[in-house]
Structures are given as structure tokens and as C-alpha cells.
Amino acid sequence: MVLPTLLVLLAIIGYPVVSTVYLSFFEYNLLDFTPPEYLGLDNFAQMASDRIFWISLKNTLYYTGGTVLVSMLIGTAVALLLENLKGPVWTAVRALVVSPWAVPFVVVAFLFRFMYMQNGGIVNDILLDLGVIGNPVSWLNRADISLGAIIVANIWATTPFFFLLVSSALSGIPDAVLESARVDRAGLWSTIFHIKLPFLRNPLVVGSLLMVISNFNDFAKVWVMTQGGPGYATTTLVVYVYRMAFERFEIGYASALGLIWLLLLLLVSVFYIRLLWNRQND
């Protein structure tokens, strides 16, 4: 019964992965109209001296780590804050908190691109009115702040995921455990740190793994907002692979980059799985 599904997965996922691994050992440019030339490990050796590769890897780590960490903290805090608040007003507040998750990532990118506009953007208008800045800031055209601006947009888009995850996990805490804490006169912070957070540990590990993979592969927001610029200030690994494959048509080198990209995600996944396994066996 599962054979048709396995065949589809093999065709859609298995073949491209095998093809990528194979081409990563070749020099293959679509514009040359020549067969691939075997290079062995030369493509991987080239990465060691490829400055753009290291910049894109650093940007990817900042983008992924900053987004996941901050959105997890904010989502968890908001879920804890709204946990026991009832009524139509707080239901509406929860709906507003969740609403960014329903917005397509491309729409999020265009929305923040317009908000960050130097002339007429709402971000500059608010900061100017508050006296925080004296002149409009070109948020997406400055190498020192453009990546941070994209991370802020991404945090806004991904925080609802952790809010939903934590809210669901909180509803699964047994009432007997919370009642015992009340009987023992445990304070608010004691209940949060010693009862609720331990119950949230495993869901947060799984959720953060999913978000790490999602943000590591995030192409739409970065491309729509800056296309990796200015210079290479916001070029992430996925953007660099795209440029090599579909702008320079260096399929061999792009495949090698993609293979390193895959291995990094596998290492992260193994780390999270081991962490989750160790937690379950504690």
C-alpha cells in the first residue's frame, strides 16, 4: 500500500539528491554545451577559498539562529501571557497574534519592503516622529543593517508558529500537576520554570528543528527584499546556490554547494534528534 508513495518520493526527492551528489564532482556549465568533466573533489576545495561562500554561510547562520531564537522566546512568552485570559477580546488578540502565520512569505517580504522604504516607509515615519532618528534610513540598502532588517521581518512571520506550538503544549499539561502546584502554593514564576517549561521542552526542541530547517532553506523573503544585496550583505547559502545555478549556470559547483548545504542540515537534525532522545531518557 505504501509502495506508490515511496515511488513518488523516490522520483521527486531521491533522484534530484542523487543527481546533485553526482554532479558535485563535475565541472558542468550549461552554457558550454559540453559534457560534464570529472573534477573529483576540486569543487569542494574551491569552497575553502571562496569568500562569498563563507559570507553566505555566516549570513545563513545569523539569519536562521537569530530568527529561531528570538521568535521562540517571543512566541513562548506571549503564549504564557495569554494562557489564562478568556473572553472575546482575548480571543481576538490571539487571532491577531496568529494572523502573520497565514500570510504567504512572499507577501510578508513585499509588505516589509514597502515598510522599510527610505521615503514614505512607515518604519522611518514612526521613528522620525518619535525622534529616534534624525534622517530617513535606507534599511535594505545599507550593508550593516540590511540583514537585521530582514531578520525582523522573518521574526514577525515565524513567531506565530511558536505561539501555536506552545499554546497547544500548555493545554496538554495535566490539570492534576497544576492543581498540585496550587496546593503547594507555588508562585507564578516557580510554576512556569519548574512545571510548565519542562513540559514545553520537547515540543520546543521539535519546533525549533522544523524552523531551523525552514529558515535555512528560506529563499523567498531574502530574494524579494534584497536579492542578496547590497553586495553580499544578505546573501544566504540558498541565494548563492540559486545565483550559481540559474544566473551563472555553474551546475557542478552549485551541486557541490547544495551537497554541503544538505550535510549541514543533516548535522543539525542529528544534533536535535540526539538532544530529544537524551531528554526523553532523563
Comparing CA positions, the residue from 43, 22, 35 lying closest to residue 14 is: 22
pLDDT in tens, 35-75: 888 988 999 999 999 999 999 999 999 999 999 999 999 99
Contact 150, 234 (CB under 8 A): yes
SS3 217: coil
Specify the pTM.
Answer: 0.90
Supply the DSSP symbol for 11.
Answer: I
List, in order, residues 6 or more apart from 39 with CB less than 8 Å away. 25, 26, 27, 252
Report the alpha-carbon distance of residue 207 to residue 215 in Å, rounded: 12
Confidence band, pLDDT 50/70/90 cuts, at residue 281 = low
Average pLDDT over residues 223-234: 92
Confidence band, pLDDT 50/70/90 cuts, at residue 282 = low
Residue 266 to residues 44, 65, 208, 239, 262: CA-CA distances in angstroms? 18, 16, 15, 19, 6
Contact 106, 220 (CB under 8 A): yes
Residue 212 to residues 14, 68, 193, 204, 218: CA-CA distances in angstroms? 22, 7, 25, 12, 10
Given this model, what pLDDT does residue 61 score?
A: 94
pLDDT in tens, 65-102: 999 999 999 999 999 999 888 888 888 889 899 999 88
Question: H-type helices in the chain, by residue range?
Answer: 3-9, 15-23, 42-48, 51-82, 88-98, 105-115, 122-130, 146-171, 175-183, 188-191, 197-216, 220-225, 237-246, 251-281
